[in-house]
Structure 1
């Protein structure tokens, strides 16, 4: 009996010893993994809110694997072209909630201007926030003309009650973010009001040009839909 007990004790001790060694191994392995570094995308310099991220602004930095989260970018091309919706610090990992794919904020050098009603002759019915619009001047005294060579970004389209014109159940911007083109255009058909005011993102020079053309009452602007953000992005990829 004593011999069997000694064998059982020896086997149990060996098993416990093996389990202890395995546990220590797992702890060491976990510690090593935590000390491993991963490359994530960071700005080379401070990036103000509203800036469109360009590749030259971005680089990668190594951070401990344990500090990496799912909303960080691992490749610079993933963040290129996005707009900063919050300031980004130098060398700070870029988080997905701090950038947007279809921006509404004015870019560097721009501001958001609400176009006075008395300046507006007509607005495309399907115009929505995030779209790109072409601005024309319709003059009683002279020839009508295109005001800017390039389209401008629509920051907001409001009703008389100062609410954004959108489908209350599913915005076209959300559908664009999800890549759902069909639902995006369906949202436009189910909009909740009539356009009363349009906000455009313009540079100072663009606003002064528009104001100079319309302030005497002899000309008004026509704001025409040119492309949605999704369509505009697709054209850029094709070109």
Structure 2
């Protein structure tokens, strides 16, 4: 009887020892996994809201795998050319929801200006928020010309009812996000109104140039849709 009890105790002790060893092994494996690192994208320095991210502004930095979350960006190519929706601190993990590829916020040196109606001669009906446009000066003295050397980003376009112009059944921005150029085209054909107000992201110098020319009432603006709106994010 004593031998049988001793045998049972030995077996139980062996099982407990095995469980203890296995538990220590699991803890060690978890600890090793937590110590592994993942490279994430971080700003090299403080970045203002509305800044277009260039390669020199961000870098990869390792973090412990245990600190990593799915919202963190791990590839530089995923952020280059996108726009910051809010300020980003130096070495702060860059999260997906803090950037946007449609660039509708004004850049670091820009502000959003509503162009007065009396300054405008014509606006292309195909223009939508997030598009790029080209601005021309049409003068009564015949000195018409392209006014700015670069394309300008549209912050918003609204109808006379102060409603953002888009196709409510097929959003232009949603089609653009999905890379569906055909639906983008159709959404522009079936939009919900004519353009009454247009807001552009301009630097102070660009706005003052427009204002100086148009305030004389001898020059008006022609705002034309740029194909870069389709071919670039």
TM-score (norm 1): 0.89
Shift of the alpha carbon at 1:203?
A: 1.3
- Please give the secondary structure, in 2, of the residue aligned with 1:183: helix
Q: Does 1:79 align with 2:101?
A: no
- 5+ residue gaps, structure 1: 234-239
Q: How does 1:152-163 map to 2 (within 5 A)?
A: 152-163=152-163
CA offset digits 1:184-210 (Å, max 9, x no partner)? 222222212211011111111111111
Q: Distance in 2 between matches of 1:10 and 1:182?
A: 75
Q: Distance in 2 between matches of 1:230 and 1:98?
A: 23
Q: Distance in 1 between matches of 2:170 and 2:138?
A: 35
2:203 corresponds to:
203
- 5+ residue gaps, structure 2: none
Alpha carbons 1:130, 1:228 under 8 Å: kept? no
1:32 corresponds to:
32
1:120 corresponds to:
120
CA offset digits 1:20-53 (Å, max 9, x no partner)? 3212211221122223322211111100001111
- Please give the secondary structure, in 1, of the residue aligned with 2:107: coil
1:237 corresponds to:
none
Q: Distance in 1 between matches of 2:163 and 2:99?
A: 24
Q: How does 1:107-146 map to 2 (within 5 A)?
A: 107-146=107-146
In structure 2, relative to structure 1, the CA distance for the partners of 1:187 and 1:19 (3 Å cut) is farther
Q: How does 1:1-239 map to 2 (within 5 A)?
A: 7=7, 10-233=10-233
Shift of the alpha carbon at 1:122?
A: 0.9
Alpha carbons 1:132, 1:232 under 8 Å: kept? no
Q: Distance in 2 between matches of 1:149 and 1:100?
A: 25
Q: Distance in 2 between matches of 1:228 and 1:192?
A: 23
Shift of the alpha carbon at 1:152?
A: 0.8
In structure 2, relative to structure 1, the CA distance for the partners of 1:175 and 1:7 (3 Å cut) is farther
Q: Distance in 1 between matches of 2:232 and 2:74?
A: 26
